[in-house]
A and B are shown apart, each in its own frame.
Chain A
Amino acid sequence: MSGHAAVKAQGDAAGVLRLVGYIGFAVALMVLDRRFAALEGLRSAAAHVAEPILLLAELPARGAQWLRYVVVEREQLATENQRLKEGLLQSQQQAFSMRAALEQLQRQQQLLEAAPQGLTGMLVRVIEVDLGSSRARIRVDRGTRHGVRIGDAALDAFGVYGQVIRVGQEQAEVLMLSDPDHAIPVLASRSGLRAIAQGGGLDAPLRIDSVPLTADIRSGDALIASGLGGRFPAGFPVGTVLRVSRDDGAAFLSVEVEPAARLQVSRELLLTPVPLVEPQLMEGPPMPTPAAATAAPPTEAAG
């Protein structure tokens, strides 16, 4: 009897040891993944298997969407169509002004004999799967095979949507503006104030912290991407200021921003390659980039 108990206890100890081993392994994986991003190789290998599975998981949603189009009333479709046309018109206007700027940039690049860049955007579809709520992420149906790169800006018809944080062969992952890890340099178009808008979490407004008390910003101000850092196209709408609050004793204003992009609704996005507008085209003091200055003398000519 006691022998049996001893054997059982030994088995328990071995079980606990094994569990501790697995926990250690999992913690190591998490640290490698979070702190060092060392597992992208494993991820891209797994992506070959995962990508078709994600498409399979999306099938019911697409079926429901199809059903909705079959069943939904004409009128609703007509109003939606009208709204979309207006959105298209707006974005075409933006597109024209962008194209003018791009052509100018391309001419300058030709003058400087710089390598030509693919400066067109790529229309991608959002794959409707639930990726869990730990971060505000979505997946889209284009990957490295189509030329998507990490850092590409994602735009929807109404404004900046987010940026590409991970790319597989056929799919890519986009971090939304509203993720707490996401930050974007913005410019208040009325006052010219520069700031950095940070995500506040899914369904929550963006936040701008550390705005000086004397700064000229009020609710209703439109914020656009400033283009600093060269990641997001300058001039694209980011959002409007919802509320400016001043806590007692606080040295800074806290600003809440309603994103312009329809983060939960948009199902088609435009991915644009990383350096759309170089920072030196923006007004203001030059960025301290000694490496770029020594490596590329054309930067002087561009300014």
Chain B
Amino acid sequence: MRSSALLFWFATAAALLFALLPGPGWFLAVKPLMLALVLIYFAMEQPEHVGVGTAFLIGLCADLLSGALLGEQALRCAVLVYLVLRFRQRLRFFPLAQQTAAVLALLVNDRVIALWIQLVAGFSLPPTSQWLDLASSTLLWPWLFLTLDRLRYRQRSSGAGSR
């Protein structure tokens, strides 16, 4: 139980740092939305660690780190995790391909919320190339899912049967 919480917080911290990672323009354009993917995974597999409130606070941390509009990512993370928890039973038992499509739908919804917030806040909308990161995130999902699954099972088998 404790070690699985550790994995969640470690993955979240890594995702927050990953979002800040600089690079050439093409890299920034295709940089996957790691934080959203990590939240989706843990809300789906270990809802005892990540609730809507936790997601809100994590999003708030991301807002404070990037210095962007305070509350934007908090709202997006809360909605994302709410949707995953709501449809958790179905998402978990989808085959991986279908699950990946569902993740894409979640990310598109997330992006629509983000654009809507930016529009209302009076910021200029980002260029159309912004949608490339959704494609890369979706492509990354199966790998991330399997990697985190493996890490979790390894932990469980070495975790002296705490669960």
A residues with a Cβ closer than 8 A to B are 12, 15, 18-19, 22-23, 25-30, 32-34, 39, 42-43, 46, 50, 53-54, 56-58, 60-61, 128-135, 137, 139, 166, 173, 180-181, 201-202, 264
Chain A nearest Cβ from B138, distance in angstroms: 19
Partner of B70, one of A29, A54, A60: A29
Min CB gap B148→A, angstroms:
21
B22:A130 contact, CB within 8 angstroms:
yes
Beyond known contacts A26-B74, A128-B22, A139-B67: 16 more, CB 8 A cutoff: A15-B86, A19-B52, A22-B75, A26-B71, A53-B17, A57-B20, A57-B21, A58-B20, A58-B22, A60-B21, A61-B23, A130-B28, A130-B31, A132-B66, A134-B68, A134-B123
Pair B20/A27 contact, Cβ less than 8 Å:
no
Q: Is the CB of A23 within 8 A of B65?
A: no
Is B159's CB within 8 Å of the partner chain A?
no
Q: Provide 27 A-B residue pairs closer than 8 Å at the C-beta atoms, listed in order of the A residue.
A: A15-B52, A19-B79, A22-B52, A22-B56, A22-B75, A25-B74, A26-B71, A26-B74, A26-B75, A26-B78, A27-B75, A29-B74, A30-B72, A43-B67, A43-B70, A46-B64, A53-B20, A53-B65, A57-B20, A61-B22, A130-B21, A130-B31, A131-B68, A132-B68, A133-B130, A134-B69, A173-B67
Q: What is the predominant secondary structure among interface residues of chain B facing chain A?
A: helix
Contact residue among B19, B28, B79, B123 (Cβ-Cβ distance under 8 Å from A180)? B123
Please name all residues of chain A whose beta carbon is closer than 8 Å to the beta carbon of B71 when the two chains form the complex.
25-30, 33
Q: Would you call B158 an interface residue if the criterion is a C-beta within 8 Å of the partner chain's C-beta atoms?
A: no
Q: Verify A15–B123 contact, CB threshold 8 A.
A: no
| Contact call B78/A19, Cβ cutoff below 8 A | yes
Residues of A within 8 A of B78 (CB): 19, 22-23, 26
Do the beta carbons of A129 and B69 come within 8 Å of each other? Answer: no
Determine the distance from Cα of A15 to Cα of B52 in the docked complex, in whole angstroms.
9
The reply to whether the CB of B145 lies closer than 8 angstroms to some CB of chain A is no
Q: Shortest Cβ distance from A16 into chain B, in angstroms? A: 8
How far, in angstroms, from A181 to B117 measured CA to CA in the complex? 16
Which residues of chain A have C-beta atoms less than 8 A from B53's C-beta? 18, 22
- Interface code B113-137, partner A: CB below 8 Å = 1, 0 otherwise? 0000110011110110010000000
Q: Which residue of A lies closest to B31 (CB)?
A: A130
- Considering the complex, give the chain B residue whose CB is closest to the CB of A137: B67
A interface majority secondary structure: helix
**B85 interfacial contact with A, CB 8 Å:** yes
Bound together, the chains give a CA A38 to CA B86 distance in angstroms of 34
Q: Name which of B56, B60, B71, B127 has the most chain A CB atoms within 10 A of its CB.
A: B71
Cα–Cα, bound, A181→B69 (Å): 14
Residue in A25, A32, A34, A131 whose CB lies within 8 Å of B67: A131
Q: Does B69 contact A33, Cβ atoms closer than 8 Å?
A: yes
**A139 surroundings in chain B (CB, below 8 A):** 67
Q: Which of B70, B85, B117, B124 contacts A201 (CB 8 A)?
A: B124
CB <8 Å contact, B124 and A15: no
Residues on the A chain within 8 Å of B16, using CB: 53
Q: Which of B28, B60, B82, B117 sits near A19, CB closer than 8 Å?
A: B82
Complex Cα distance, B23 from A60, in Å, reads 10
Cα A181 to Cα B122 with chains together (Å): 9
Chain B residues with CB under 8 A of A137: 67
Verify B65–A26 contact, CB threshold 8 A. Answer: no
